[in-house]
Structure 1
Amino acid sequence: MSTTALSASAAPRRRPKDRRKLGDNIAGWSFAGPATLVILGFSLVPMAWALALSFTDSDLMTAGRNVGLDNYRALLEDPVFFQALRNTGLLLVLYIPTSLIAGLLVAVLLNRKVRGIGFYRTCFLVPYIVSATATGLLMGFIFDRDFGLANGLLAKLGLPIQGLLSSPSQAMLVLTLIFFWTRFGFSVVIYLAAIQEISKEVMEAASIDGAGRWSTFRHIIVPSVRPMTVFLAVWGVIDALQFFDLVMTTTKGGPANATVTIVYYVWQLAFTYSTAGYGAAVAYVLFAGTLLLIVAGLLVARRRAATT
């Protein structure tokens, strides 16, 4: 049989496969298409618009004029911007390791079969799912300098009254504590799910070999949940760099800009000071910094995984 005849006889066999593949593609895009349009419409397009806005002096009411890189140069001489960077950096340094370590330890404790364990697990998750606005209003009352429950308790214990949210040196620390309390449950739930996926045979083998609780935790649990640790670290960085709602409902950046974060400063620039172009420049600096932190963290985690 000639080559031409072979190709002619093989062609009809490929056509049904091609049609099936085309049908699968159409079916797939019919489901993914709307979500793709939503992502493009509400994420990528606004990002491109904000990038263009960062090169103007627009106030959101008018188009503004093109100022080139002036907005980015002005950042280098903006003391409030550097104060916001310090506040956000303090939040990151305090929150990320604390949430990871405490989340893992509590997850280990909650992985036991004791009476009422479901209630205890729920107690740690509730602060995460409660409205941030409600949490902020409640915490603003608890940590109020004059009428708050925190200072009332200190007074009953004979301890001096603290400034708390009214003190420039304490306000950011108190907000970090509140932020930890509201986000802590998420780390616990993720770690608890990862621990429950560890093979029971492995845990039993370690027990038979005489491994104690600390050895089991260090050599089995910690390595097993390492992927979740990387995920929670990345998630925590993104979450902390977007810290806004609690600032808005408690201190509004005060006192004396002691609790101004990057996102709150962007909001102030755009909607309070009517300098949306400059605010967009700050937002893109935040985006670039977030991206660098995430990429660096993933590279470090990959290198450690390759060496172990």
Structure 2
Amino acid sequence: MTTTFAVSRRTGDTVAGRTRGRRRRLARRTLTGWAFTGPATIVVVGLSIFPAVWAFGISRTKWNGVTPAVDVGWRNYERLAGDPGLAAAARHSLVLTALFVPASLLLGLLLAIALNQRIRLIGFYRTCIFVPYVASAAATGILAGYVFNPQYGAANDLLRRLGLPAQQFLESPHQALPVVCGIALWGEVGFTTVVYLAALQDIPRELVEAATVDGAGRWQIFRRITMPGLRPVTVFTGVWQCVTALQMFDLIYTTTRGGPMNSTETVVYYMYELAFEARRLGAGAAVACLLFAVTLLMTCAVLWRHRRDPAAWG
């Protein structure tokens, strides 16, 4: 009996020692991980979360940036609820998003399929597609202003050579927003192309080869194998491009500055005018908080829809 008790005690001590060892190793790995991620986490908190909380505090005040702020409660939000300028800016943002997001996803997918082929100089072609994305959006806007200038722009020069009438482009209230969307596509499609290209290369070749052996055509392979493999990427790029469209500012600032006749004034540009031109920092911060809430709700709705019904994405 004594021997059995001693063996059981030694076994228990061994198990306890192993448990303590695993805990120490886990603690060591955790500390190592935080040593690497801690500084970046502090930077993210300092540059995003704290300013967001501060902006919410400003949104409840009347402040011009110079005189002391006056607490007005929710009055800024109540005024924005009936502001026709904000309503018009929201419509422009929705139209821009509705034009930009599907076009960027479709064009990015088509380009990724084309760049996924084994042809000569494929690395050069992939680099050319991605270069506009890494270029400055402000520089892209300035260059586009010259290209689409109604008097001496290259776009109208090409139309004249083709025997077509010249267009007003960025100076027309009806054409400016679609032209801005086209410029944004030129600068952003490289991102969706690279993401889709990486996803295409991650699809197992064995599935494609097996489907080919079974007699499946290209369209059947694309529909039954490729598209299901691209669903997570489509959700990610869709959300990312929605946020990009809703927060587009630098391109509009360098091309139209919200004109002509406020036809390209988006929510972000309207916020800029309120905060830094009209010196209504409280109202501008309120617009920023509303935009953040809408973006967050949209992202959560898309993710919830994807998890509930993944087949709806392809």
Same structural fold, with TM-score higher than 0.5 when normalized by the shorter chain: yes
1:27, CA displacement in angstroms?
A: 2.9
2:78 is aligned, of 54, 69, 73, to 73
Of 266-275 and 42-51, the range deviating more from structure 2 = 266-275
Match of 2:282 in 1: 277
Q: Which runs of 5+ in 2 are unaligned?
A: none
Is 2:214 aligned against 1:209?
yes
Amino acid at match of 1:145: P
Match of 2:174 in 1: 169
User: Does the residue aligned with 2:165 lie in a helix, a strand or coil?
Assistant: coil
Deviations 1:2-46 (CA, angstroms, capped at 9, x unpaired): 89x959x74983555554444444333322222222122111111
Amino acid at match of 2:221: T
1:199 is aligned, of 197, 204, 209, to 204
Count residues with an aligned counterpart.
Answer: 307
2:237 is aligned, of 232, 235, 244, to 232
Give me the whole-angstrom Cα distance separating, in 1, the residues matched to 2:26 and 2:202: 37
Query: Identity, % of aligned pairs?
Result: 47
Match of 2:294 in 1: 289
Contact 1:80 1:257 (8 Å CA) reproduced: no
Match of 1:265 in 2: 270
Match of 1:249 in 2: 254
1:157, CA displacement in angstroms?
A: 2.1
Of 258-267 and 297-306, the range deviating more from structure 2 = 297-306
1:125, CA displacement in angstroms?
A: 0.8
Is 2:228 aligned against 1:223?
yes
TM score, norm. by length of structure 1: 0.92
Contact 1:155 1:161 (8 Å CA) reproduced: yes
Give me the whole-angstrom Cα distance separating, in 1, the residues matched to 2:147 and 2:23: 66
Contact 1:230 1:301 (8 Å CA) reproduced: yes
Give me the whole-angstrom Cα distance separating, in 2, the residues matched to 1:68 and 1:174: 40
Give me the whole-angstrom Cα distance separating, in 1, the residues matched to 2:20 and 2:168: 77
1:260, CA displacement in angstroms?
A: 1.0
Give me the whole-angstrom Cα distance separating, in 2, the residues matched to 1:63 and 1:157: 61
RMSD: 2.3
Deviations 1:220-256 (CA, angstroms, capped at 9, x unpaired): 1111111100110011111111101111111111111
Deviations 1:244-284 (CA, angstroms, capped at 9, x unpaired): 11111111111111111111221221111111100000001
Amino acid at match of 1:212: G
TM score, norm. by length of structure 2: 0.91
